[in-house]
Amino acid sequence: MTRSLVIGFIQLALVCGLAFGCTVEVGEEEPTGNVEQESNVTWTTHSLSSLTVGMALSDGEGFQWLSNSVGCRSSALSDPCGGTPFFYSVPGNDFAAIRGIGRAKNTGHIFAWYSDSTVTEGTASNFTAFSGHKNPFAAGLRHNRNALFSMDELVEVDNSDNGLWYYYWRDSSDNTFWRTTGTSVNAGNTAAQVTVSGSHGQIVGIAFGPGSPAPVETFYADGTLNISHTSLDIAN
């Protein structure tokens, strides 16, 4: 399929409006000593940043899901929507309710989290293929430990090679960013502050790349792709 046909497919979709995962409880590790420095490269947005509800990476493909029922996959990890488009399904066709999407490292299953504090487990094209329905989800405990984060503060989620799910939150009261770690159904109770970029627009997706330790790839709205080797600093 040519690039023009791919983009045409996505544009057509825009017009038409078309539980349990890795729960290994291991100690979280951050890189120490001499590690590769973080860097900024570019990713191709195709002007779809505002429609993106989640992104993920596999060993050979990048995935991007849009709020109009269209997903994209490509062997070019920094250009998912330059590859093959497909339609995907979610419960009730409520694509706008998606708050984060991640890919389990051990199974390749796709998990999605929703505004009603639920999570599903499925494939890239059928988000309930394995769970069959939504399962309850517990949001992460705030840094001041007086309440849980709200689902509308969830920015993105992905699974690390250590088996834990990493949840990124934006505190709506002061625009600070935080990370909790846990299972697919419980985001955990220890929040650590995250450094993000203030000059590249909103975060469109966060995906843990292949390898161990997995690089943290943060997709910003302006087409900046930050590749970091610490999950607490995703800015450059």
- Alpha carbon distance 107, 125 (integer Å): 15
What global pTM score does this model have? 0.87
Per-residue pLDDT of the chain (236 residues; tens, 9 = 90+): 444 434 444 443 443 333 333 333 233 344 322 334 579 999 999 999 999 999 999 989 999 999 999 999 999 999 999 999 999 999 999 999 999 999 999 999 999 999 999 999 999 999 999 999 999 999 999 999 999 999 999 999 999 999 999 999 999 999 999 999 999 999 999 999 999 999 999 999 999 998 888 999 999 999 999 999 999 999 97
pLDDT for res 214: 92
The 3 state secondary structure assigned to 7-70 is HHHHHHHHHHCCCCCCCCCCCCCCCCCCCCCCEEEECCCCCCHHHEEEEEECCCCEEEEECCCE
- Alpha carbon distance 60, 14 (integer Å): 27
pLDDT for res 59: 86
- Alpha carbon distance 14, 147 (integer Å): 38
Full set of structural domains in the chain with CATH: 38-234 (2.110.10)
- Alpha carbon distance 140, 135 (integer Å): 16
Model confidence pLDDT, tens digit, residues 37-95: 579 999 999 999 999 999 999 989 999 999 999 999 999 999 999 999 999 999 999 99
DSSP 88: -
- Which of 73, 228, 93 is CA-nearest to residue 166? 228
Here the tokens at position 5 are 């046909």
- Alpha carbon distance 230, 164 (integer Å): 15
Give the other-Cβ count within 10 Å of 157's Cβ: 28
Here the tokens at position 148 are 């849980």
Q: Which spans in the chain are helix H?
A: 3-16
pLDDT for res 15: 34
Contact at 8 Å (CB) between 177 and 187?
no
